[in-house]
Amino acid sequence: MTTDLYWREPLWLLALAYPLLVASLGRWRARRQLDAYADRHLLPWIQVPRRRGGLARQWLLVFAWGLAVIGLAGPRLPLVVPSESRPAPGALVAVLDLSGSMEARDLGGNRRAAALRALRSLVAEPRRPAIGLVVYAGRAHLYAPPTTDGAVLETLLAQAHALHLPTLGNDLAGALALAGAQLAGVAGPRGVVVLSDGDLDAQAQERAERAAAELASDRTTLTAVGVGTATPTPVPDPDRGWLMHDGRPVVSRLEEGWLQRLAEVAGGRYLRLSEATALPLDALWPAEPPRIAPEQASAVQWRELFPWLVVPAVVLLVLAAALPPRRVTGLMVAAVLSGGGSISEAAGPDLATAEEALAAGDTVVARDRYRSIAGFVGRYGEGVACYRLADYGCAIDAFSAAAWLAARDDERARAAYSLAAAFYQEGDYAQAAALYRDARANGLAEPALDRHIGLTETLAAQVERHRREAAGPQARKGTGSRAGSSELADQLAAGRTLEPEAEKEPPLPAGMDRRRFDALVAHGVERARLAASGDGAAPQQPARWLGRDDAVVETPGAVLWQRLFEIEEGFSVSPERPRLRPEGRAW
């Protein structure tokens, strides 16, 4: 990321002080002349009142002078920068704590889910440096070297919730050393961001402080982000309910004081998770924005801005000299208003413009405007516009991003509710039902929410019954046909229903006739057929989006990374349970 505005001749900017010097000198000379002519108490009787419009003319001349001087300084923006002329952008490595204490649920969901949401918001920054990922528990592992590919980072973060590192413990010192090694050959600013609850034993804290001091000696900025709360919270155990130590449940809290000391040792800063999620990347990673070196300026193609300043300045100077005083005043107002309008336009499309376009029904313009707005508001507005355009794939992507970027429960609930509606339109009723339940769990007060949950659950059950009805008889015949075949979808469209079984046939939802219900079921069966794998595997269970239910959903990518980490630690086969280091603890 670079600072875009450059100046060809910046010393010209010193001339901006010329009108002030002239005015001050003129006022001083006039005061001396009047003092020499008469006593001060007589001055009101001999001074001629200022002509009307004279002050406006002077300010117009000052305004024109300012435009001319700024134009002569040569403001310009880089259009094409050759690779050899580009400043080193630097790199950032995020260190994510995956120890057992990060499973504690004191942030609505567990701490790991909250840290992943914060990382996703950082990766979504449009002008980010190369970002790498390091994960650690008992051992540290490189999850991704520094890269500018946002899609790769998004994919890895989406899989990180399912990672189970093979060794228990809390090797933050090793993770900091590994992060520093990834930044060793990086030109430009370098930074490390640690997302952890700081729940380490005394020896691990000392090792981590030494590793942080080494980062500071390498001119690497360290930012510690505290994840969790100060309230002691039990640590879950997948087998026994709660993790036990010496016959007592293990409780964990955010060690905010120690994380502050860790940041101070490295000359960095400490932030709470809510602060780190809300701040932009440049504030989280205090690195000086790189600049194009003056000796490289001749190789850059520039967009020169001086004509847009010098030409209006000349026109204003001519008009100020030619127009009567009254018109000068009107011209001054017009110039200020036009200048303000150009500044507003240069700031880009804002939220008000996007909302006006959406309210006026211009959904294409609204969608494009919202795409230029960062954060939850931009992604949610983009999803609404896509939904109204019936582009449900776009709406699902936008509402999903909004759910991850949401900072409050009410925002997450609203995103989940809208995301459920998009999945309903796509025919994925099971996923829609799960998201409607997520919205209710996050406190959404929507009168129709229970009705939506009942409808989608009923439709999902009917789609599953039709899928099994199609798979069962054909499997007995040895046909090997896939569940949810196209023939079944055609039969549903023609009005075919299941065999009448009174104990299984659900009543129709309120306000819906049989034809509409069968059409929705047919749409869901067709979607299941298109999504089904070639070996007849059942559809995947619906995912939970908001971290309220933190049950791990295994994904092929996460399993692969987990196996690679096991190989790195010398495991020839996958262990049934993570290993505990003799000198460490399980959380």
Q: Residue 120's domain is classified under what CATH number?
A: 3.40.50.410
Number of domains in the chain: 3
- Shared domain for 320 and 182, answered yes or no, is no
Please report, as a single letter, which amino acid is at residue 494.
A
The token pair at 270 is 């400490």
pLDDT tens for residues 389-438? 888 888 888 888 888 777 777 888 888 899 889 988 888 888 888 888 88
User: How high is the pLDDT of residue 551?
Assistant: 41
Does residue 95 sit in the same domain as residue 50? Answer: no
Q: Which regions of 216-351 does DSSP assign to beta strands (E)?
A: 221-226, 233-234, 236-237, 241-242, 244-245, 248-249, 251-252, 269-272, 301-304
Residue 575 lies in a domain: no
SS3 387: helix
Rounded CA gap, 263 and 258, in Å? 9
Helices 409-426 and 449-477, axial angle in degrees (round to 10): 40
Q: At residue 338, does pLDDT exceed 50?
A: no
Please report whether residue 19 resides in a domain: yes
**Chain mean position to CA 58:** 48
Same domain, 241 and 263: yes
Question: Looking at the domain assignment, is residue 388 inside a domain?
Answer: yes
Residue 351 scores a pLDDT above 90: no
Mean pLDDT for the stretch of residues 205-233: 90
**Cα–Cα distance for residue pair 464/412, rounded to 1 Å:** 29
Paired tokens of 313: 């300045």
Pick from 136, 156, 159, 161: nearest CA to 144: 156
325, 345, 365 - which closes a domain:
345
State phi, psi for 305 to the nearest 5 degrees. Answer: -105, -5
Q: Structure tokens of 469? A: 């009805």
Strand partners, 192: 93, 222
Same domain, 327 and 278: no
Higher pLDDT, 82 or 5: 5
Cα 492 to Cα 514: distance, rounded to the nearest angstrom: 12
Q: Are residues 216 and 311 in the same domain?
A: no
Domain limits for position 99: 88-284
Tell me the per-residue pLDDT of 268-304, one tens digit each, with 9 for 90 and over: 889 888 776 666 676 676 555 567 777 777 777 788 8
Higher pLDDT, residue 561 or 91: 91
User: Token digits for 453?
Assistant: 């949950």
Concatenate the DSSP letters of all residues of 225-238 into one string. Answer: EE-S-SS-EEPEET
One domain, residues 233 and 158: yes
Residue 50 lies in a domain: yes
Quote the CA–CA distance of 341 and 312 in Å, as a whole number.
15
Residues 461 and 507 in one domain: yes
Token pair 């295994």: residue: 554
Please tell me the distance from the alpha carbon of residue 117 to that of residue 98, in angstroms, as a whole number: 14
Please say which residue of 293, 328, 345 terminates a domain. 345
More confident residue, 545 or 116: 116
Confidence check: pLDDT of 81 > 80:
no
Whether residue 373 sits in one domain with residue 329: no
Q: Which residue has the tokens 């003056």?
A: 294
Which of the residue ranges 175-189, 229-243, 542-556 would you say has the lowest mean pLDDT? 542-556
DSSP three-state, residue 330: helix
Across 63-159, the runs of DSSP E, i.e. the strands, are 75-80, 91-97, 130-136, 140-147
The mean pLDDT of 476-500, rounded to a whole number, is 47
Whether residue 312 sits in one domain with residue 192: no
Both 371 and 403 in one domain: the answer is yes
The mean of the pLDDT values for the chain is 77
Task: For 357-380, write each residue's pLDDT tens digit.
Answer: 888 888 888 888 888 787 788 889
Domain with residue 434: its CATH number is: 1.25.40
Angle at 86 between CA 84 and CA 88, to 5 degrees: 105
How far is CA 325 from its chain centroid? 53
> At a CB cut-off of 8 Å and minimum separation 6, what does 363 contact?
357, 385, 388, 389
- Does the residue 445 lie in any domain? yes
Query: What contacts 132, CB < 8 A, 6 or more positions away?
Result: 91, 92, 93, 94, 142, 143, 144, 145, 146, 147, 179, 182
Residue 576 falls within a domain, yes or no?
A: no
SS3 assignment, position 249: strand
Whole-number Å distance between alpha carbons of 134 and 163: 13
Q: List, for residues 52-79, the tens digit of each pLDDT value.
A: 555 677 788 888 888 889 988 989 888 7
Q: At residue 306, what is the residue type?
A: F
Side-chain-facing half-sphere of 502: CA atoms under 13 Å: 0
Number of other residues whose CB lies within 10 A of the CB of residue 105: 18
Same-domain status, 117 and 185: yes
Q: Tell me: pLDDT of 493 over 80.
A: no
Residue 528 shares a structural domain with residue 468: yes
Task: Assess if residue 72 is contained within a domain.
Answer: yes
| Confidence band of 209 (pLDDT split at 50, 70, 90) | very high
Residue 580: how many CB atoms within 10 A of its CB?
Answer: 13
Strands (E), 182-272: 190-196, 221-226, 233-234, 236-237, 241-242, 244-245, 248-249, 251-252, 269-272
Percent of residues in the chain assigned helix, strand, coil, to nearest 5:
55, 10, 35
Q: Are 169 and 137 in contact (CB under 8 A)?
A: yes
Give the least confident one: 7-11, 251-255, 568-572.
568-572
Nearest to 197 by CA among 133, 103, 275: 103
User: Any alpha helices (H) in 82-133, and if so which ranges?
Assistant: 111-123
The answer as to whether 574 is a domain residue is no
Q: Select from 457, 485, 467, 466 the least CA-distant residue to 538.
A: 467
Q: Which of 329, 168, 179, 198 is nearest to 273 (CA)?
A: 198
Q: What is the reported pTM? A: 0.49
